Amino acid sequence: MSKCRIYLSGAHSTGKTTILKDLKPYLNIQFEEEIARRVIRKFSWKRDDFLPETQPENFLKLNEEILRRQIQTDEENSSMSKDFIADRCIDPLIYVQKYIGVDAMKKLRELPGVLEWTDRLKTALIFVIKPQKECIVDDEVRLSPKLEELDAFHNSILREYKLLGIPVFEITDLDRQKRKAFILEKVQQRFPGVLISF
């Protein structure tokens, strides 16, 4: 099993990718970035192709594929005992719950490997990034962000982690240096061997 598994979790437009970039000089681990964007590119989709209001089947397919990739990434890195950090976690479950419904979320939970993966997450270091209006940028790739929706997503994902018994750290600061310092402090406490410098 992998010694160090770190996840940055939360709604889109919260700065997860920026945080990953800020952490790169400090962590000697595999960086698994932009999983959602890679899946969108794989399908050659534009945002209109997977809007939950007009294309719920594609939205479900997208999140199912992202979830599969998350599990695959965890399994591959764990089997090679590679320490890693990823920019998504149980996020696809919450996306389908919020935008399609509870039945769609149940369908994703029944995918092969999901139960085992969520159980393994109990030993991972997970950070949930709180939405900030200053981070909201419409990149025309992901869902168009509105702060109220992002806040609702944030509250839902925190509830889901609690329901699953998965401990998380909530990052509420907007300041990039404070975000980075908070994460590195927690990494130093749990996995000091992966730090290059701090």
Which is it for the CA torsion 107, 70, 172, 189, positive or negative?
A: positive
CA distance 148 to 137: 14
CA distance 60 to 56: 6
Q: What is the pLDDT of residue 133?
A: 84
Least confident among 31-40, 67-76, 167-176: 31-40
Q: What is the pLDDT of residue 185?
A: 96
Distances (CA, A) of 82 to 12, 47, 50, 96: 26, 33, 33, 30
Least confident among 72-81, 121-130, 153-162: 72-81
CA distance 83 to 61: 29
Indicate the pTM of the whole model: 0.90
Q: What is the pLDDT of residue 1?
A: 46
Cβ atoms of residues 117 and 74 within 8 Å: yes
Q: What is the pLDDT of residue 134?
A: 78
Burial class (CB in 10 A: 0-12, 13-18, 19+), 8: buried
Q: What is the pLDDT of residue 143?
A: 56
Could you give the domains of the chain?
A: 5-192 (3.40.50.300)
The pLDDT tens digits of the residues spanning 148-192 come to: 999 999 999 999 999 999 999 999 999 999 999 999 999 999 999
Contacts of 82 (CB under 8 A, 6+ apart): 2, 29, 30, 76
Average pLDDT of every residue of the chain: 90
Please say if the pLDDT value at position 53 is more than 70. Answer: yes
Cβ atoms of residues 73 and 84 within 8 Å: yes
The sheet carrying 5-9 orders its strands as: 30-32, 84-86, 5-9, 125-129, 169-171
